[in-house]
Chains A and B, each alone.
Chain A
Amino acid sequence: MTTAPHSHSSNGHRTASDFDTQQSLARETTEGTVYNVSGGDWDEIAAAAVKSDDERIIVNMGPQHPSTHGVLRLILEIDGETVTEARCGIGYLHTGIEKNLEFRTWTQGTTFVTRMDYLTPFFNETAYCLAVEKLLGITGDIPDRASVIRVLLMELNRLSSHLVCIATGGMELGATTIMIYGFRDRELILDIYELITGLRMNHAYIRPGGLAQDLPPGAVDQVREFVKKMRKNLGEYDKLATGNPVFKGRMEGIGYLDLAGCMATGATGPIVRAAGLPHDLRKSQPYCGYEDYDFEVPTADTCDAYGRFLIRLEEMRQSLRIVEQCLDRLAPGPVMVADKKIAWPAQLALGPDGLGNSLDHIKKIMGTSMEALIHHFKLVTEGFRVPPGQTYAAVESPKGELGVHAVSDGGTRPYRVHFRDPSFTNLQAMAAMCEGGQVADVIVAVASIDPVMGGVDR
């Protein structure tokens, strides 16, 4: 833009046309001052607008913001409505779980890891227990019933995690009905958790070697009831959102990340499946007997938030299929390895004051068997020793590859446990998804990543 001469302003004839952004030339004639106002080149004006810093601001979204999924801090450099740069600030929920694990026994570790990604507690527990079992070399000794119940709980957990993702994601778009539906259905699943483990979250139910206890009476019936109900309810999400033009308008083409981007940023789970790659550890590296279940891995080729939504919806249907197969597969049997040096003496029973050691067990160890008492005491306070070495166990959590790197030095406590949390890795893709887009689309993109800060920060 050629700078408009400012000299004419000095004569007092300052007019509305005397703006920097306009071409105004003044000429003195016999009739007075004549202004020539001509339009500039639009490109030059746009370039000048970028150069002037008026519209360019840095916004800190979060760490306390209702639409950032917890304490995620988004640092956005925005130019008008366009995001030119986006960065994440994390660490606001860092609780040092990995360090804490090093000062507790291997069994007590489940109580910590279940709190990492608090929406996927059973996946954290299973991944951790698979790693411990691999270190112990007892992977093949886990009873079938324990594995089936693990799969059952993981698939229910996949449903509840996806429901929260869709519910909160919808709420952030303003679709509060989806939120109500999602939390309504999640409540049904939390009721099942409560029946089986006694808690709605932070279960510590899956233990190295098997499970803390068997399914309580009535659990199978309640799960069957739930599957029936959920099949009906899942259709409502389709009706409400899948074809909804407003919903599609907000989601389609937003948060774009293609396969090359996924591989570079390490994104897994629904993000990579929305880029068309049917990568699912349940199929490629089966654990807990997933190779025996009949299910499909849905993919989409849209690479966007809408594709991820559709994949989550379809994965919930597949999870229901697996849950049903689990129920059919449940055969009576033990839920803990036979090795009494590893199996925690967790003969739990529900008493009038809540869940605790069963009275029969207490009567035995306190009244009849000194050796059983010593064994109980040693195993609970000291724990079991794990041969030195390291291992990596990974499960397909609802968010992607949840990996556990566990190192033992032969002691009764973990030497080092590192969680490769999918939320942490996937969140790195946020910048690639958001830069160049609109501010409103950042919310959609972040919601489609589905990060849970408990898992990101650990």
Chain B
Amino acid sequence: MSEQKNPEGPGEPAGQSGQNGQEEAVPAQREDTGEVIGTRRGMFGADNGGDTTGYGGLVRTVRLPGASSRPYGGPDASEGYGEFDEIADELEGALDEQGLVPENVIEKTVVDRAELTFHIERGALPAVARILRDDPALRFELCTGVSGVHFPGDTGRELHAVYHLRSITHNRLVRLEVSAPDADPHLPSLVEVYPTNDWHERETYDFFGIVFDGHPALTRIMMPDDWQGFPQRKDYPLGGIPVEYKGAQIPAPDQRRSYS
């Protein structure tokens, strides 16, 4: 994140930037600076010159919460060894038993807003899900489906798939996140482990174009079968509305001047 040149928005942790010579005054960051998902220019987010505020030169980096370090704590936002550490220990131990290297499988662990997220290497997703479901100390029986997120600015990992697993036995919730590049939008299917993901994966395919390899019948579920494109991607073109007044047209929602 060394290319960052501008002050960050309020509420975000102070970065290492500081052109005003305040490096010493800023406490060292405990966590990494997070995942940069885009840059925002100006006040209104419009890239087509709609910004007339004089803030056109303002550049802000958008970053998601970064990896956390041990101890992870628990859902009650407590410091120190907690429930999240138990889950992580158990998962790493089980991965070791299966001959997988936890450092390679778990790309990073994020604890944010008292929620635990494992970023998983996409090839290892079914193995991790199976461990989380079957290990007696983990027992995440219920998968609440897939949610796709498209980050066009996150080069090389544009498409994210987010899974929430719930353990009724231990009353816990954990989130798995995997990513795939736009150029190769393939993820392994979890239908074999969690049959409930059948429709959820079809929905994510329908809207984001993520191809779930191994899904029994990956077809569109919401949109018509012959639909072109994947509507929930951020770069999906939206239509404007022609107005019957001197050929004017109301621009599409993503083209309008708007706050962002």
Interfacial residues, chain A to chain B (CB-CB below 8 A): 90-91, 94, 96, 98-99, 103, 134-135, 137, 263-268, 277, 279, 284-285, 381-383, 385, 387-392, 394, 401, 403, 405, 407, 409-413, 415-416, 418, 420, 424-425, 427-428, 457-458
Contact = CB atoms under 8 A, between A and B. Distances in A.
A428 B38 CA distance: 37
Nearest to A387: B11
Given A94-B222, A284-B171, A416 B141 contact: no
B199 A424 contact: yes
A99 B231 contact: yes
Interface string B220-238: 1111100000011000000
Contacts, number: 126
Interface of B: 9, 11-12, 34, 37-38, 40, 45, 62-65, 112-113, 115, 117, 141-145, 147-150, 162, 164, 166, 168, 171, 173, 175, 194-200, 203, 207, 220-224, 231-232, 253-254, 258-260
Given A90-B222, A405-B162, A405-B164, 20 more contacts: A91-B221, A103-B254, A103-B258, A263-B142, A267-B196, A277-B168, A381-B259, A388-B63, A390-B64, A390-B117, A390-B149, A407-B149, A410-B12, A412-B259, A413-B258, A415-B149, A416-B150, A425-B144, A425-B145, A425-B200
A90 B221 contact: yes
A284 B203 CA distance: 28
Nearest to A381: B259
B223 A411 contact: no
Contacts of A277: 168
B221 to A, nearest CB: 6
5 contacts: A266-B143, A382-B259, A401-B142, A415-B149, A416-B149
Nearest to A135: B113
B222 A457 contact: yes
B145 A266 contact: yes
A264 B115 contact: no
Given A134-B113, A409-B38, A425-B199, A403 B144 contact: yes
A418 to B, nearest CB: 4
B199 A401 contact: no
A410 B222 contact: no
Contact of B147 (A134, A267, A405): A405
Contact of A401 (B65, B144, B197): B144
A390 B168 contact: no
Contact of A418 (B37, B113, B147, B196): B147
Contact of B223 (A91, A285, A392): A91
